[in-house]
Structure 1
C-alpha cells in the first residue's frame, strides 16, 4: 500500500483539481486509504452538502475542504468499498450517484503501447465512448488523445455540460485521457472540453472516435453501442472472400445519398437509409450494376462538401438516420447481391472548431508547418502521416468500415494530393523531403501499410485509388515496389474520352488518338474507368450536355460513349443520372430528374444501359482479362478519316471473344469490312442505334456471317452496316 500523502500535498493537488489542471484527479478524488481509515473525496463545486452512502449501510456527511471539494474520513476501515454519494444543491435538489473517481482505468498498458506505436488495429474498440459494465456497474468508458492538454473533461447531458464535474485522468506519457462515468448511457450526447497546455480559451471538441453524432448543424457526439445490429449477409461475405477481383465484372453505380431521389411530398427531403435500401437495391438490380459506390457517408459539417470534408470519421452521417439504419442499407444491398463501396477521405479534413483541427490547442492530427499542414485548394488541414497515433487513427478507420459496416471496399480520395509535397503549391510553399524531392515519403509509407493491412485482414475487400498522375505501380503489390491498391481510377482515359466525344464529328478525325492513346498504358495498372460526379459539376455540364449536336445526336453520342466504355478494358464506374442522360448538371440539393424517363429518348438510354450491364456480366471476354494484354487487340485503330474504331476483347477461357466496332461519324456506313478472329456466325449483341433505345434502327439484322477472307490481321472478315454515331458488339453464336 502506498504511503498516504500529507495534508499539505493533498491540499496542493486538490487546488489543481479545483483549477481543472490536475492530470490525474483520481489521485486525490474518490476513495483512498489514510492510515487506519478510508477517506472519500468528491468535487461538486455548486453543492451545499454531500453524504457518502457506503455499501455496508449508513449515511456519512462530508465536510467542505476547499473550492467545492468535500471529504469524509471513515475510521476503522482500511479496505476499499463500493459507495454512492448523495449531492444536495440549492433549493433542496438532491441527486444520488456513483462516484466516477472510485473506478480503476478502463484502458490497459497494452492498449497504450499499441496506440503509441501506431499498431492498434482495432483502436476504435478502446478509444471514444463505450457503454460497458465496469466492476459490475453500468456506465460509459471515455477515452481521448490530447497529449499537450493541461486538462480534459467529459461534458454532456449527464452533467449539464459542466466541465468541472468530470475531469479525466491522463494515462502516463501516452497522451490519452480516460474516465468511466457510471451515470452516462447509450444515446447520451457529449463532447470533450479541452484546456490547452499553453493557456487560452477552452476547446469544446466532438469525439474523434464517436460512432454517432447529432444531426448537423448540431455537432455533439452521441454514445452508441455497436453490438445491437444483427447481420444476415453471411452468404455475401463468405462468397466475397473467395473471389479474384481482377477477373470479376465490376459495374459500379456512384450515388450521392442526399440527392439520388427525394420525397417531394414531404418537403423535398432526402430518403432515409432504410427507405434508400429498398429503392436503391430495386433500381440497381433492375439496371444490372454489380456495386454501388456511396459518396462519403462519414459525418461532415457542410452538406455542400458532398462529404469530402469529414468531421467525424467513425460515424455515418445522422442526416439519413441512425448508424444501425446505415447497416440495414448495407445488409439489404448485400442480400440482393449488390456490393457496397465507400468514398474515403484520409488526405485532409476541415477547420471547423468542433472537429479535428488544433484538437488539443496544437497541431495534433495535422502538421504544424502550414507548408505541410494545410491544403490550399480546399482550405483544409492535411493529416500528419508521420505521427504514429494519426496513422493508427486512419488505418483503423479503414478497418472499422470494413469490419463494423461490412463495406466491400474503399475508394481513396485525392491520392495525388497525398503523394506529392508540392501538390497545388507554388515554389517556396512546400517543404522537400529528406532527399530534396517532392515525394511525400510518410504518405507513401502510410498508403502501403494501409493497403497491406486491408489485404491481410479482409480478403475480397478492395482498395481503389483516385490518383490523377503518372505515379508508377499504384495498383501493384507493395513487395514489388507498388502502393498496393487493387484498382486505380484511369483519369487519363476519362479526360481523353470525354474530350473526343465532346467534339463535333467533323473534327473527330483530328482527335482520333485520344481514343487510341489509352491502350498504350491500359495494362500498366489495374484500372477502373470512371465517369464520376467530378465530371458533371462546377459548370462542366452533364454527360448528356457534353455531347455535340441536337438532342437526337446527343442521345446517340451518349449511348455510343457508354457502350464504348463498357467494351473497353477496365472496370466501370458511372455517376447517377448518366444512365438515362440527365441533361441538367448535377445539383447536390435536388433530386435527379426522374420524370425524364417518360421521354422515350431518355428511357431508351436507360434501357440500353441495363442491357449493357446484362451483356457485360454474361460475357467474360468483357471483364476477366481487363489488366492483361492478351485480353485486347486492335482491329482498326487508324481509320481516322471514317471515325471508325474496331477491336476484339478476349476471355481467359479459350475461344471466348467480343468484337466491338464504333462508327462515331453521323453517317451510316454500308458494306464496311472488318476483320474477325474466326470464320462463322456472329450474333450482334449490342447495337446502340437500335430503335428500342431511341435510335434509327439501322443495323445487321441481329446476326452476321464472316467470310474466309483475311482482314485486319484476322483469318476472317465481314462486310457490315455501321449505324451513325453508334457502337456495335458481336460474339460467336
Structure 2
C-alpha cells in the first residue's frame, strides 16, 4: 500500500477503506490487507485450513497474498502480546445498504430509516455481526469505536457511500450489548466522538455511548393493535393521565412499573396514559424534553424490550399509550446531534434560526430533506416499533414562527418576508400524514399555544390564510387551561368580574379538535400544585378543585390530568421525589380529603366513559347548548351536552362558596331528572349538599325553555343531571 494511502487510513480521513483493506484479486493471487494497530502478528486462515502469515508493513498494516483467483472465505487470527483473537474480516463484505436505501435517504423519503441507519445486527454469508451506518456528509472520514476495538477506531474506518453522505461498516462478532460511538474526522481536521443518532439503545446517563440492540420481544397485543384505529378519536371517549415515569414511583424499572401503573390507571378509569418523553436524555431535570437519543428509550429504567413490556401491559389493561415527542429542539451536548460532523447538520447554518432563545438549545433544520426524514421516521418508529398509540408533539408554536421568542432583528423572515416557518409547516404536514399512513390508528396531538389556524384541519384543506391544515388529530387547548386556572385562582368575590374567562372558551371551542390539559407545565417552577392555586382555607381549596374538575370533564374536549393532581397533592411537581403518595395514608389527618378527590376523578371517568353526551359530539356545535352562561354575579354557569341521538346531560357549576336554594334552571324536555354526579358529595370530602331523588321539572318557562326546576346549588361545586331512565320522555 502506498504510504499516502496508509497515512489517510491512520488519520481517519479515508473515504474508501474497503478499496484498500480486505481481500482483492491481483495478478498472482488475492491480496489481503488488515489494519491492526498494536498487533504482534496477523494470520489469514481460509475455510479449507490454508494459513498465510501476513507481513507487517508499518503502523499496524499487515499484508499478504492468498493463492487462487477468487476471494475465499477466511478469518484473521491476531496476536496481541499474550492475547489471541480470531474473527472474520469485515472488509471482505459488500455494503449492507442497497441502492434503494440510499436513494430514499437522499430523497428524504425513507420511512423506515432505522432499518438502514444505526446499528443493526445482521448475518452476512453466514457471519453474524453488526452493520453500522451513519449520515455525516461533511466528514472527511468516519470510524467506529467501541468495546470490540478497545475504543481505538484505527482498525475500523467506515466507507463513504457516495453522494448520500452515509458511511457504512459491517463488524463481525459485534452483537447486542456492544457499546459504541462514531469517531468523525471533520473537514477542519478535528476528531469528534459522537453517539449514534439512530441508536436503538444507549448507556445509562451520565454515560453517553450508544448500545447495539436487537429486539427479542414477542408482543401480546395483536387484538389491541388491530382495533386501535376504530372510529374517529374525536367521537369516542379519551381521558388522559399524564405521567413522568421515572418519578411516578421513583426507583421502579419499566417491568416493575408494568405491574403497578396499568392497574392504577385502569382503576381510575382513564383511557390513556401520556408518558413525558422516554427518549434518552442526559439531564433528568429536563424531564426528558432535551433529547439526545431519539430512537432509544432511556436506559434509566431498563432496556428497549423492557419498555415494550410496559406498553404491552398497558394495552392489556385497556389503556392507550401517548408518548411525548420533541422535534422542536435538541440540546447542545457535544456527544450528540450538535454540529454532528463538525458543521451545522441537524440545525440550520443561520444562527438566527438555529439557536432557541428560551431553552438554550438548537432547532432542527426542517428544510433539509434528510433532517426532515430523520424526524418523520422517528415518529413512525415509536408508533410501530413500540406500539405507541399517539405522539404528542411538544412546543409546536416555537416551530411555526421564525420570530418565536426573538427580538426585532434577531430573526430572519421567510422567502415571502413573513414570520411563518414554511419548512416547519411542511414538515408537520408530512409527519402527520405519514404517521396516519404508516401507522394506522396512531394519533398525532399538538401542543400549540397560539391561534395558528387549522392545526387539526386535514393537510389537503387550504384555509383563508393560504396554508393547508397541519393534519393533527387533536390539539391542546392552552387558552382554556390558562383562562380556567386564572378564574378559579381568584377569590370568589372577584370572580364576577372575570366570568368571561370561563365562558370565552365556547367562542372558539369548535375551531379545532381540542384536549383540555391540566398538565405538568402548570404545577412546576413556582406555579404551585392545582389545589394550592385555589383560594380560601384548606376545605375551600379542595372544593374549588373538585368543582373545577367537574367543569373540566363536562366541557367539550378530551381531558388530561397530570399525576399527583388526581388526589390533590399539596406540593408542585418534583422530578426526584415524585407524587406525595403518603397523603393518602389512613393515619394522616387529611387523608380523607385526598382520597375523596381521587374517588371523584375515578367517578368522573366512569360516568364520562358511559355517557356519550360528554364525548360523542366534542367537535360538533350541536352537542352543546348554554342554559345560562351570564350569571357572573352568582359565579354560576349552566349548560347542556348532547349525544348524537339528542340525549342530554345538564351541567351546573357554582363557583361561589354560598349554598343557593331554590335556584331555578331551565331544563331540556324530560319528565324527570336525577343527579348522576355531584362534586360536593360527602364521599368526595364535600359538605353533602346534593339534590336527592328524582327532580320533577315544572311547567315554568325559564332560560328560554318550556320547563324548569328549582334546584339546590352546593357551594363551590359542579353537579351533573341526566334524565331519569324510568320516567324520561326526553327527545
TM > 0.5 fold call: yes
In structure 1, C-alpha distance between the alignment counterparts of 2:235 and 2:619, rounded to whole Å: 9
Are 1:117 and 1:389, in contact at CA under 8 Å, matched by a contact in 2? yes
Tell me how far apart the structure 1 counterparts of residues 567 and 493 of structure 2 sit (CA, whole Å).
26
CA separation in 2, counterparts of 1:51 and 1:643?
88
The residue number in structure 1 matching 2:380 is: 399
Counterpart residue number, 2:524:
537
Distance 1:498 1:210 in 2: 41
1:521 and 2:508 equivalent? yes
Unaligned runs of 5+ in 1: 1-6, 263-269
1:720 corresponds to: 711
Is 1:216 the counterpart of 2:205? The answer is yes
Pair 1:672-2:663 in alignment? yes
TM-score scaled by structure 1?
Answer: 0.96
Once the two structures are TM-superposed, the CA of residue 62 in structure 1 deviates from its matched residue by 1.2
Q: Please give the alpha-carbon distance, in whole angstroms, between the structure 1 residues aligned to 2:374 and 2:214.
A: 19
Q: State how 1:16-31 maps to structure 2 within 5 Å.
A: 16-31=8-23
Give distance in 2, aligned partners of 1:448 and 1:322. 32
Does residue 102 of the first structure (1) align with residue 92 of the second (2)?
A: yes
Pick from 316, 320, 328 the counterpart of residue 347 of structure 1.
328
Q: Could you tell me whether the CA contact under 8 Å between 1:679 and 1:707 is conserved in 2?
A: no
Q: 2:610 aligns with which of 605, 614, 618?
A: 618
Q: 1:11 to 1:199 in 2, by over 3 A?
A: closer
Residues 1:71 and 2:63 aligned together: yes
Find out whether 1:236 has 2:224 as its counterpart.
yes
Runs of 4+ residues deviating >4 angstroms: none
- Alignment partner, residue 631 of structure 2: 639
Shift of 1:194: 0.8
1:323-338 correspondence runs (5 A): 323-338=304-319
CA distance in 1, matches of 2:538, 2:693: 26
Q: How far 1:13 sits from its partner (Å)?
A: 2.3
3-state SS, counterpart of residue 493 of structure 2: helix
Q: Structure 1 CA distance, aligned partners of 2:435 and 2:635?
A: 44
The equivalences for 1:467-546 within 5 A come to 467-480=448-461, 481-546=468-533
Is 1:252 the counterpart of 2:240? The answer is yes
- Between 442-451 and 210-219, report the one with greater CA deviation: 210-219
Does residue 457 (structure 1) correspond to residue 438 (structure 2)? The answer is yes
> Which residue is equivalent to 1:288?
269
Instruction: Give the C-alpha shift of residue 35 in structure 1.
Output: 1.2
The 10-residue stretch of structure 1 (445-454 or 47-56) with the greater mean CA deviation from structure 2: 47-56
Measure how far apart 1:234 and its partner are: 1.2
Task: Give the Cα–Cα distance (whole angstroms) in 1 for the partners of residues 264 and 82 of structure 2.
Answer: 61
Q: Distance in 2 between matches of 1:369 and 1:412?
A: 24
Q: Deviations over 1:605-656 (max 9, x none)?
A: 11111110000000000011001101111111111111110000011123x1
The 1:412–1:702 alpha-carbon spacing in structure 2 relative to 1, beyond 3 Å, is farther
Partner of 1:267: none
Which of 550, 553, 557 is the matching residue for 1:570? 557
1: CA distance, partners of 2:440 / 2:179? 36
Match of 2:421 in 1: 440
For 1:322 and 1:15, the matched residues in 2 are separated by 40
What is the CA distance between 1:325 and its match in structure 2? 0.7
SS at match of 2:550: helix
Partner residue, 2:284: 303
C-alpha contact (below 8 Å) 2:17/2:157 kept by paired residues? yes
- CA separation in 1, counterparts of 2:438 and 2:720? 40
Q: Is the 8 A contact 2:444 2:472 kept in 1?
A: yes
- 1:662 pairs with 2:653: yes
- What stretches of structure 2 of length at least 5 have no aligned partner? 462-467, 586-590, 725-731
Indicate the SS of the match to 1:478: coil
Q: Does 1:356 align with 2:346?
A: no
| Alpha-carbon offset, residue 14 of structure 1 | 2.9
- Aligned with 2:570 (options 570, 580, 583): 583
Alignment-derived partner of residue 141 in structure 1: 131
CA contact (8 A) 1:274 1:328 kept: yes
TM-score by length of structure 2 reads 0.96
State the alpha-carbon separation in 2 of the partners of residues 665 and 15 from structure 1. Answer: 81
Q: 1:78 to 1:249 in 2, by over 3 A?
A: same
* SS of match in other structure, 2:154: coil
Quote how far apart the aligned CAs of 1:65 are: 2.2
Deviation, 1:11, is 4.4
**Contact 2:547 2:716 (C-alpha < 8 Å) held by counterparts:** yes
Secondary structure at the counterpart of residue 372 of structure 2: helix
Contact 1:563 1:612 in 2 (8 A): yes
Q: Distance in 2 between matches of 1:319 and 1:39?
A: 47
Aligned to 1:384: 365
* Aligned alpha-carbon RMSD (Å): 1.0
Alpha-carbon distance in structure 2 between the residues aligned to 1:93 and 1:601: 68
Q: Secondary structure at the match of 2:602?
A: helix
1:33 equivalenced with 2:25 (yes/no)? yes
Q: Does 1:695 find its partner at 2:686?
A: yes
* SS at structure 2 position matched to 1:207: coil
